[in-house]
């Protein structure tokens, strides 16, 4: 839905219609039989309701005016049957609609997840991930509600209302006119309320995602929070947001329920005037009471569907706001696609070459004309002050982002012209923060290569010095890790992520060495695991450990998005005034002191 303004405040009836059309187009066909059953049931509900109102005239007249016991008996039986029918039809309708609704929710959840997978890495760092999470969990129901509201309100409430209105007009046209004159002002008042509600609903959704986001940040950074004793300050801040969100939600409740007192008073007025008029006619004109009772029954029964119909616009808009947020997400285009002429990457030596690569996140230039070669089967270490652009280079090689200009070549092929799938299959990546996913240890290693056998997984774990600690876990390789699993130490997690990279058996390894300190024993094990992972591969490593740098075949020294020096450790350390020599001395204060 390419609407120019996508903020929820701009939801108007045309947007609601557009969303409704799309929801129906995408779901209507698959559930057409379910909806047909539901609609038939709703028609039965509507008709049996009006039937009970209509038959009241006969009950009263036959019982009180004509005193026909035999007829009254049949009429009462028919009322009973009407109620039974109504009960069953209502049940079938509710179950059918719920089933369809649940199916729609599940389907959109699947679709959203699959779609999120296609979006580029850049999307997730820019967009607030909490907002996405909130959208996925809360707003999918909007699509279900849009459909179900349409079906129930048109089929049941509309039909019930119209047929009851028919009964009313049939039984007493004059009174019906009086009621209808009173209705329009009420509807106008309701319209005004619904407009106010739209605005606060939007604000509330915004505030709620703010709350979620702030909480998520706190949870992720809990060690920083504690270390800097930020608890009180953060709590004060978040309490303010929570209070604002609570206020908004209360306002929504007030506004959406405000029409209750209004319609209630209106109904009271209507019933009282009708009764007065009927009493007057009975007393002075001797009109039999049957028609009047039937009319009042219809009026009272019409109240509920009328109230629901009055609320319909508000509910529909709320559902449409939610549904549209889902569509906004689904309509987001993956920013990078494979070029039409993209070919699979063919790796021979796995030689990586950066030619004049420039890159910017947004408008800030991060890399300016970067040139270097990472030779096949050799280790190239990236060093330099933080912010120099080292991680950015690591992000460009798997094409998480594309360079602004220049090329990255692997074995003579420009990676912009190969398929991303084939490119990433040739890469293994070990990040600074080892990330484990929901599942067992075995699953987590197998993510490296889904076709790996159990034997290959154990072999990788051995090479990564993880086998022994894995066997010591309660269920060995089947021990669950991730959010709901066992807690592993930082070093153990790192070794698992190295095992994952090893099992992938890719010719190129991208490595962001962990800066966080591990205990000496873990450190040694991780180092040995990394050595294993690095042998025989083209490695591009953001090096933080001196030992890695010293042993690298080539060191690329970066500063402010440029390569300032290149060479091996001995050569670079010789250049007294070079950046590398200075950095090197910083890392070895004792050595520089003795100079
Ligand atoms: P290094 O790894 O050498 O520390 P980075 O490549 O991480 O350097 O960062 C280079 C510059 O790019 C820094 O100024 C950093 O603030 C900026 N930067 C890094 N990632 C992003 C991002 N996702 N969005 C915007 N700017 C970023």
Pure H helices in 419-489: 420-425, 441-446, 454-463, 467-471
What are 349-398's pLDDT values in tens digits?
999 999 999 999 888 899 999 999 999 999 999 998 889 999 999 999 99
The answer on pLDDT for 27 being more than 90 is no
Q: Angle of helix 231-257 relative to helix 259-285, nearest 10 degrees?
A: 20
**367 close to ligand 1 (CB < 6 Angstrom):** no
Strand partners, 364: 361
Q: How far apart are CA 210 and CA 219, in angstroms?
A: 14
- Pick from 467, 512, 455, 463: nearest CA to 492: 467
Domains of the chain (ranges, CATH numbers): 4-330 (1.20.1560.10), 336-426+536-595 (3.40.50.300)
What are 295-326's pLDDT values in tens digits?
888 988 887 888 788 778 777 887 888 888 88
**391 close to ligand 1 (CB < 6 Angstrom):** yes
What is the CA(116)–ligand 1 centre distance, in A? Answer: 23
**Residues 343, 195 contacting (CB under 8 angstroms):** no
Q: How far apart are CA 544 and CA 567, in angstroms?
A: 17
**60 close to ligand 1 (CB < 6 Angstrom):** no
**Whole-prediction pTM value?**
0.70
What is the CA(190)–ligand 1 centre distance, in A? Answer: 52
What are 93-142's pLDDT values in tens digits?
989 988 998 898 888 889 888 888 888 777 776 555 667 776 777 778 78
User: What's the whole-number mean pLDDT along residues 257-286?
Assistant: 77
What is the CA(564)–ligand 1 centre distance, in A? Answer: 18
| pLDDT of amino acid 167 | 92
H/E stretch holding 566 reads strand 562-567
Q: Please choose from 387, 543, 556 the residue to mutate so as to test ligand 1's pocket, defined by most ligand atoms within 8 A of CB.
A: 387
> What's the pLDDT band for 11 if we cut at 50, 70, 90?
low
User: What's the whole-number mean pLDDT along residues 257-274?
Assistant: 74
Q: How far apart are CA 492 and CA 490, in angstroms?
A: 5
User: What's the whole-number mean pLDDT along residues 549-561?
Assistant: 91
Q: Which two tokens stand for residue 553?
A: 């075949």
**Residues 510, 430 contacting (CB under 8 angstroms):** yes
Give 99's contacts (C-beta < 8 A, 6+ positions apart): 34
The answer on pLDDT for 182 being more than 80 is no
What are 51-104's pLDDT values in tens digits?
999 998 888 888 877 788 888 889 889 999 999 999 999 999 989 988 998 898
The answer on pLDDT for 591 being more than 60 is no
What is the CA(411)–ligand 1 centre distance, in A? Answer: 27
508-512/538-542 β-pairing: parallel
**348 close to ligand 1 (CB < 6 Angstrom):** no
What is the CA(389)–ligand 1 centre distance, in A? Answer: 6
What is the CA(511)–ligand 1 centre distance, in A? Answer: 16
Q: How far apart are CA 328 and CA 470, in angstroms?
A: 44
Which burial class, exposed, middle or buried, applies to 152 when counting CB atoms under 10 A from its CB (0-12, 13-18, 19+)?
Answer: buried
**390 close to ligand 1 (CB < 6 Angstrom):** yes
Q: How far apart are CA 49 and CA 45, in angstroms?
A: 6
Q: How far apart are CA 367 and CA 356, in angstroms?
A: 9
- Candidate from 25-34, 51-60, 179-188 with smallest mean pLDDT: 179-188
Q: Which two tokens stand for residue 38?
A: 């539901």
**50 close to ligand 1 (CB < 6 Angstrom):** no
What is the CA(453)–ligand 1 centre distance, in A? Answer: 38
What are 409-446's pLDDT values in tens digits?
999 999 999 998 899 999 998 888 888 888 899 999 99
Pure H helices in 230-286: 231-257, 259-285
Q: How far apart are CA 313 and CA 136, in angstroms?
A: 24
Q: Please choose from 126, 363, 392 the residue to mutate so as to test ligand 1's pocket, defined by most ligand atoms within 8 A of CB.
A: 392
Q: Please choose from 361, 382, 511, 515 the residue to mutate so as to test ligand 1's pocket, defined by most ligand atoms within 8 A of CB.
A: 361
């Amino acid at each position: 839905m390419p609407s120019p303004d996508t903020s929820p405040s701009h939801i108007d009836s045309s947007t609601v219609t557009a969303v409704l059309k799309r929801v129906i187009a995408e779901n209507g066909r698959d559930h057409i039989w379910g909806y047909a059953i539901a609609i038939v049931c709703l028609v039965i509900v509507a008709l049996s309701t009006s039937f009970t109102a209509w038959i009241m005239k006969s009950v009263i007249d036959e019982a009180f005016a004509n005193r026909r016991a035999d007829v009254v008996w049949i009429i009462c039986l028919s009322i009973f049957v009407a109620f039974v029918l109504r009960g069953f039809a209502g049940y079938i309708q509710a179950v059918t609609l719920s089933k369809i609704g649940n199916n729609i929710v599940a389907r959109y959840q699947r679709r959203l997840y699959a779609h999120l997978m296609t979006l580029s890495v850049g999307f997730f760092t820019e967009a607030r991930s909490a907002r996405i999470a909130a959208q996925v969990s809360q707003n999918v129901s909007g699509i279900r509600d849009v459909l179900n509201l349409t079906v129930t309100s048109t089929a049941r409430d509309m039909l019930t209302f119209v047929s009851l209105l028919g009964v009313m007009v049939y039984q007493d046209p004059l009174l019906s006119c009086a009621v209808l004159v009173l209705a329009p002002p009420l509807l106008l008042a309701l319209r005004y309320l619904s407009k106010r509600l739209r605005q606060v609903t939007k604000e509330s959704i915004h505030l709620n995602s703010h709350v979620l986001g702030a909480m998520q940040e706190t949870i992720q950074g809990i060690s920083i929070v504690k270390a800097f004793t930020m608890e009180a300050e953060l709590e004060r801040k978040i309490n303010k947001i929570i209070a604002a969100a609570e206020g908004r939600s209360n306002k929504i409740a007030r506004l959406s329920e405000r029409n209750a007192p209004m319609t209630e008073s209106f109904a009271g007025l209507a019933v009282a005037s009708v009764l007065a008029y009927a009493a007057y006619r009975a007393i002075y004109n001797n009109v039999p009471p049957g028609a009047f009772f039937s009319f009042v029954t219809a009026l009272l029964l019409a109240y509920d569907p009328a109230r629901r119909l009055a609320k319909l616009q508000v509910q529909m808009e709320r559902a449409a706001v939610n549904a549209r947020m889902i569509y906004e997400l689904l309509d987001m285009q993956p920013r990078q696609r494979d070029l039409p002429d993209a070919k699979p990457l063919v790796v021979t030596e796995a030689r990586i070459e950066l030619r004049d690569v420039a890159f910017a996140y947004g408008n800030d230039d991060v890399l300016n004309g970067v040139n270097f070669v990472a030779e096949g089967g050799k280790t190239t270490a990236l060093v330099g002050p933080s912010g120099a652009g080292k991680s950015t280079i690591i992000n460009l090689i798997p094409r998480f982002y594309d360079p602004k200009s220049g090329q990255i070549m692997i074995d003579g092929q420009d990676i912009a012209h190969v398929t991303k799938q084939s490119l990433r299959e040739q890469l293994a990546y070990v990040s600074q923060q080892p990330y484990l996913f929901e599942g067992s240890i075995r699953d987590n290693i197998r993510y490296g290569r889904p076709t790996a056998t159990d034997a290959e997984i154990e072999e990788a774990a051995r090479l990564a010095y993880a086998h022994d600690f894995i066997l010591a876990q309660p269920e060995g390789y089947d021990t669950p890790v991730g959010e709901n699993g066992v807690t592993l130490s930082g070093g153990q997690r790192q070794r698992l992520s190295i095992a994952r990279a090893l099992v992938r058996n890719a010719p190129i390894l991208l490595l962001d060495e962990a800066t966080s300190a591990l205990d000496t024993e873990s450190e040694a094990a991780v180092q040995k695991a990394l050595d294993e992972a690095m042998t025989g591969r083209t490695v591009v490593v953001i090096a933080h450990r001196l030992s890695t740098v010293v042993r690298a075949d080539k060191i690329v020294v970066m500063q402010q998005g440029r390569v300032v020096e290149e060479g091996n450790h001995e050569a670079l350390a010789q250049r007294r005034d070079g950046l590398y020599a200075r950095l090197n001395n910083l890392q070895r204060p004792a050595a520089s002191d003795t100079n």
